[in-house]
Amino acid sequence: MLELIGLNKRYKGEAEAALDGVHLRVQTGEFVAVLGRSGAGKSTLIRCVNRLVEPDAGRVLWQGRDLTAMSAAELRRARMRIGMVFQHYHLLPRLSVLTNALAGRFGAMPRWRSLPGWYTASERALAAAALREVGLEALGRRRVEELSGGQKQRVAIARVLVQQPELLLGDEPISSLDSVTAARIMRHIASLHRERGMTVLLNLHDVAVARAHASRIIGLAGGRIVYDGSPEALDETALARIYADEAAPDLPIHRRDRG
Amino acid sequence: MRTWTALGILVLLLLWSSIGTGLAQAPLYDLGNTARFIAEHWFPPDFGHWRIALAAMVDTLQIALCSTLVALAIALPASFVAARNTGLPRWLYDGTRLVFNLFRAVPELVLALVFIPTLGLGPLPAVLALIIHNIGVFGKMIAELIEAADDGPQEAVKALGGTRLLVAAYGILPQILPLVLSQYFYRLETAIRTTLILGVVGAGGLGQLLYNDFKQFMYQKVTFEVLLIMVLVTAVDYAGAAVRKRVK
């Protein structure tokens, strides 16, 4: 189980808090989508879970252990079991598709092997199988810069498959993709949840995509949770709360999302 | 109005500096003298000592190569300490930056003059002087490249449970490598020219040969040596371009 307790985060020079006392409990095996306007705190929330962003206050409990109280070495071990996909893919530049998939083993390998990139036959087989699963087995030797956006995100999914985490975090994983490619990536993420039993927590811009895949939806506005419920219960009133534009209250943003 | 003021200030600065250096008075000199001197004494080049000259050229290349490679090998890891975004303690960052600044501030000629009395004449003082100066240059330059590197791959390695060393090796190094190589070849070219100057104070190589021949008025030999310098610098430039083309 993942539990966020009273998370607060305010970035330097910002008047508003990015996260303002967020409490959230995610059960093992849940698929949780976080919705909210740009600047609502979605990315900060996701990044506080694996401490890519350090919260100012509050705790993150993962499988009963406090991630926020961990030493650097303990945190690295915990991160091994938490996968992440990013909006801009964050692949390792100038390296091959295969090397990027193999990077999923970084946390699990001894240092003397990870630094020079000495992988065992079983690790290579794992990476090859992951690339096959995302349909990129023929492109293993290609440099990642030569791939399209959708292919890059599939490499990132392959990296997660090689990492074999128990929790998958996603920071807008389909925002930079066209709708067809986005649907394909979401199918991959859904299969990680369904077939591999990963708990999924990802933020999305698209309400329809969240409704289609998530078992639970969290709505964030101004760094606070303003909706927590099932996709079915996400009605107009809830959407208005999540997407309400303080500057133009008559033009709720959610109407654009549904269009 | 401000543009005209700025332009006026620039013209005044140019006039002030060119009068001070004698450039403004250059038309008063008979520059034809120089042309006649070169035509009469420097040509045709004397290739008679080609073995000695070629050996000196190889010495020059070895001094430049050895010093820049050693400097790069030391500065590359040290520059990660001198970059603000690698998350190391502030005193380490400040200390390494200070060392880089001090190394860079002292010209190679001064460093060579410091080493010559204790180590004697020959390439070693030049190599040490070039290593120290280039550690400062490479260190500052690479630290700035590291600070400007994209956060994304670094975040990815961190999120995978990677150590700081892995973040540097896989999240930063591949991004900056082409720029480091490009700077390396530029510094190698500069080191070749500096080695020629250090030859004047006894560091060996083509510089020393050229200076000795010049003092003995053997200008035709000097012409051949200048040609060799041009060949060497051009060859390094082409080699650099070829390597840069491969490492994109």
Contact B70, B131 (CB under 8 A): yes
What's the pLDDT tens digit per position in A87-133? 999 999 999 999 999 999 998 999 899 999 999 999 999 999 999 99
Q: Band of the pLDDT at A248, cuts 50, 70, 90?
A: very low
Residue of chain A whose alpha carbon sits nearest to that of B169? A115
Which of A50, A106, A163 is opposite residue B166, by nearest beta carbon?
A: A106
List chain B pLDDT tens, one digit each, 248 residues. 789 999 999 999 999 999 898 888 877 777 788 888 888 888 888 888 899 999 999 999 999 999 999 999 999 999 999 998 888 889 999 999 999 999 999 999 999 999 988 888 888 999 999 999 999 999 999 999 999 999 999 999 999 999 999 999 999 999 999 999 999 999 999 999 999 999 988 888 899 999 999 989 989 999 999 999 999 999 999 998 998 888 87
Contact A204, A195 (CB under 8 A): no
Give me B116's structure tokens. 């010559």
Which of B152, B171, B174 is opposite residue A86, by nearest beta carbon?
A: B152
What's the pLDDT tens digit per position in A162-183? 999 999 999 999 988 888 889 9
- Distance CA(B35)–CA(B26), nearest Å, equals 14
Instruction: Please check whether residue A71 touches B, CB under 8 A.
Output: no
Partner-chain contact A111 B165, CB within 8 Å: yes
CA A235-A240-A241 angle, to 5 degrees, is: 100
Instruction: Please check whether residue B175 touches A, CB under 8 A.
Output: yes
CA distance B22 to chain A (A): 52
Q: Band of the pLDDT at A254, cuts 50, 70, 90?
A: very low
- Structural domains in chain B plus CATH codes: 50-247 (1.10.3720.10)
For an interface test with B, give the residue of A106, A164, A202 to mutate (most B CBs within 10 A). A106
Instruction: Please check whether residue A82 touches B, CB under 8 A.
Output: yes
Using the predicted structure, report yes or no on whether residue A5 has a pLDDT greater than 90: yes
Residue of chain B whose alpha carbon sits nearest to that of A73? B163
What's the pLDDT tens digit per position in A106-116? 989 998 999 99
CA distance B93 to chain A (A): 20
Instruction: Please check whether residue A112 touches B, CB under 8 A.
Output: no
User: How confident is the model at residue A245, as a pLDDT?
Assistant: 58
Whats the size of chain B, residue-wise?
Answer: 248
Q: Which H helix or E strand runs over B188?
A: helix B173-200
Residue with more model confidence, A185 or A247: A185
What is the layout of strands, in order, in the sheet containing A2-9? Answer: A19-26, A2-9, A57-62, A65-66
- Distance CA(A245)–CA(A253), nearest Å, equals 7
Using the predicted structure, report yes or no on whether residue A6 has a pLDDT greater than 50: yes
User: How confident is the model at residue B122, as a pLDDT?
Assistant: 85
Using the predicted structure, report yes or no on whether residue A253 has a pLDDT greater than 70: no
